[in-house]
Amino acid sequence: MDRRQEILEAAEKSFSLFGYKATTMDQVAKIANVGKGTIYTFFANKEELFNAIVLKMINEMRAEADAVSVEGAPFEQNAHARLMQMLKFRGTHQLYAKLIDEEKELRTPAVGEVLQAIEKEIIFYVKEKIEKGIAKGEVFPCDTELVAYILFKAYLALVSDWGKTHDEELSEERIAALLKGTIFKSLLI
């Protein structure tokens, strides 16, 4: 069996279940049925192993976001579906959710960095889609970096922040209606 793969799977399991800090290298070695030293022949240290897992997760997320978009559908519909999917992923995916929790509770630096990197990746993804929309003539030319940023932050606020200060979450319909009437309305040609 591929030892590197075994280690990756073991690490993913452990990070997802216990988070970054509470995962020990001994733990990972045990789950992977591998001597601890072996891990270090494939990964320089704990953080690099962690980064490898997170990279894998980012690709999953990207794939899921692509999966909910419909070829040929209008920009607004696909953009909304993609962002909602990524934010659903954010709150649902075991590892991602665990990391958000760990960042809030423990402030583990490695986790903070990784979360920031994921966010950057999402914004980059959104930016790409906006540029594609502009190229297709569906979207007004604009400051794509900033528009991607504000779109992500808006969705994040509505999907995730709102619930923290109000007793019930916003429905997807209300979110869709608001953005249709504000940001998207002025973005679309």
- Binding of DNA by 2 (CB under 7 A): no
Which residues share a beta bridge with 188? 139
Q: Is 137 left (phi over 0), alpha (psi -120 to 50) or beta?
A: left
Binding a second copy (rule: CB under 8 A), the pick from 64, 119, 131, 169 is 119
Applying the rule CB under 7 A, the residues between 17 and 36 that interact with DNA are 22-26, 29, 33-36
Number of H helices, E strands in the chain: 11, 0
Binding DNA (rule: CB under 7 A), the pick from 37, 72, 164, 165 is 37
- Binding of a second copy by 109 (CB under 8 A): no
- Binding of DNA by 52 (CB under 7 A): no
Q: Which is nearer to DNA, 6 or 64 (CB)?
A: 6
Q: Which is nearer to a second copy, 35 or 141 (CB)?
A: 141
Q: How far apart are CA 11 and CA 27, in angstroms?
A: 9
Q: Within 10 Å of residue 153's Cβ, how many Cβ atoms?
A: 13
- Binding of DNA by 14 (CB under 7 A): no
Applying the rule CB under 8 A, the residues between 7 and 36 that interact with a second copy are none
Query: In this structure, what DSSP letter does residue 183 have?
Result: I
- Binding of a second copy by 118 (CB under 8 A): no
Binding a second copy (rule: CB under 8 A), the pick from 67, 73, 135, 146 is 146
Q: How far apart are CA 145 and CA 149, in angstroms?
A: 6
Looking at 45-53, 90-98, 135-143, 176-184, which segment touches DNA (CB under 7 A)? Answer: 45-53
Q: Let me know: does 177 contact 165? Beta carbons within 8 Å.
A: no
Q: How far apart are CA 117 and CA 55, in angstroms?
A: 10
Q: Which is nearer to a second copy, 10 or 159 (CB)?
A: 159
Q: Count residues contacting a second copy (CB under 8 A)?
A: 27
- Binding of a second copy by 116 (CB under 8 A): yes
Whose CA is closest to 152, among 95, 85, 103? Answer: 85
Q: How far apart are CA 38 and CA 94, in angstroms?
A: 27
Q: Footprint of DNA on this chain (CB under 7 A)?
A: 3, 22-26, 29, 33-38, 40-41, 45-47
